[in-house]
């Protein structure tokens, strides 16, 4: 995570600034974000990180970086942040279980630990 977070944060922040400034459409932002995640995953693979572990780290990093958005969503829905975080972690774990040879419950626990350790 110490390597993944900075490698994702800078380019994602730049894309987000362009998106908020109206320089990118929703589709462009989504395409750019997906491309960024694929590049990060490929970089981790080149470093020798197993595919499922790389995906786990990337999902965790995305959730950590999404903290402000998750807090805003919790505030708007008038629910505790933990409810929104839990839902997001559950969705990430389900995606990992679907696309990699991992058990959803184990992925949920691992992502939860990452968010707890690196989140605000």
Q: Which domain holds residue 9?
A: 4-118
Give 120's pLDDT tier (boundaries 50, 70, 90): confident
Mean pLDDT of the 96-118 span: 95
How far is CA 52 from each of CA 4, 23, 26, 55, 61, rounded to the nearest angstrom?
14, 34, 28, 5, 14
* DSSP class of 119: -
**For residue 101, what are the contacts with CB-CB under 8 A and spacing of at least 6?**
52
Residue range 3-51, pLDDT digits in tens: 888 888 888 888 888 888 899 898 998 899 889 889 989 999 999 999 9
Output the pLDDT for position 75: 96
- The answer on pLDDT for 1 being more than 80 is no
Output the pLDDT for position 54: 92
Residue range 90-104, pLDDT digits in tens: 999 999 999 998 999
Number of domains the chain contains: 1
Output the pLDDT for position 8: 81
Residue range 43-85, pLDDT digits in tens: 999 999 999 999 999 999 999 988 999 999 999 999 999 999 9
User: Distance of alpha carbon 21 from its chain centroid, rounded?
Assistant: 22
């Amino acid at each position: 995570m110490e390597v993944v977070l900075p490698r994702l944060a800078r380019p994602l922040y730049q894309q987000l600034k362009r998106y908020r400034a109206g320089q990118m459409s929703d589709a462009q932002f989504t395409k750019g974000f997906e491309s960024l995640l694929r590049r990060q995953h490929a970089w981790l693979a080149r470093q020798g990180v197993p595919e499922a572990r790389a995906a786990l780290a990337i999902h965790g990093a995305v959730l950590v970086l999404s903290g402000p958005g998750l807090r805003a969503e919790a505030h708007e829905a008038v629910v505790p942040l933990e409810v929104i975080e839990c839902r997001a972690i559950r969705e990430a774990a389900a995606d990992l279980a679907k696309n990699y040879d991992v058990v959803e419950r184990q992925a949920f626990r691992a992502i939860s630990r990452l968010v707890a350790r690196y989140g605000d």
